[in-house]
A and B are shown apart, each in its own frame.
Chain A
Amino acid sequence: MKRILIAGIGNVLLQDDGFGPCVVSMLEARYRFESNIEVIDLGTPGLDLAEYLSGKDCVILIDSMKSDRRPGTILLYRMPEILHGQVAPGMGPHAPALMETLLSMEILGSAPADILLVGVAGESYEPGCYLSEPVRMSVNSAIDIIVCELARLGAHSALKRSCTEPDIWWMRPLPVQRSQGAGAAPNTEMSTKIVLTGA
């Protein structure tokens, strides 16, 4: 059985950079997976990424991208584009590490044979624990792509009979609405919408 990793990458404090972790949480809430499939929010792993990729046959990474394309556009990359630096990652400190990680794994001969990077063109990477509207609207597309990729790999995922609540803790509303200060009100709204889309 192929060992498969599905990992969301990005900083959840920098708006659209939180796309990867968000997609992974939604995916876990809706689907159940065979035991050979590991689903994880890696946040910003830097060079440690190698530790998670190693020993895997196939890897699906979800990340935000720096791109001139319309925000929310899904961009797909495979190994050659990543290794040749044709990928412009988003804003996290993980950014330059993906290429470096795969290159160093190549030296060791432990790079995964199959990799799919599901990227989204971000709109904003300013501090904030929510996704921009266009990027939020692309969460479902990313999930569909992941499910298709799993099918292509011959791996099984199944819709849960009833969805669990996704654990997107960073988008939970602030405990007390402050009279002033940015972020409070939109946070609440984002959080609610995301959950509804998922359900």
Chain B
Amino acid sequence: MKKIEAIIKPFKLEEVKEALTKEGIVGMTVSEVKGFGRQRGHSELYRGAEYVVDFLPKVKIEILLAEDKVTAAAEVITNAASTGRIGDGKIFILPVDDVVRIRTGERGETAI
């Protein structure tokens, strides 16, 4: 089992979700985060004084998958979330020790 963490631009969330659903991946956890990579921030002006906004809003999607589905899922996310411009985001793939379904107590891949 693996976990995918994808950091994407907020307005791309709907597109990514639809694409994943089409692929058969239906569960996910979404959170609002801030961050920057090599993109850095941009500057804004308030009453004549400049300030730099370093941390840009992003969305993090977390998905649990069987190992054989990971490559396909990563490709789907990449295609849906990409704009071709700087700041598109990143995908992290992590190993997972175990999964538990709280309602039934099931463990392992059947609990995904």
| A and B pair up | no
Name B's A-contacting residues (CB within 8 A).
none
Name A's B-contacting residues (CB within 8 A).
none
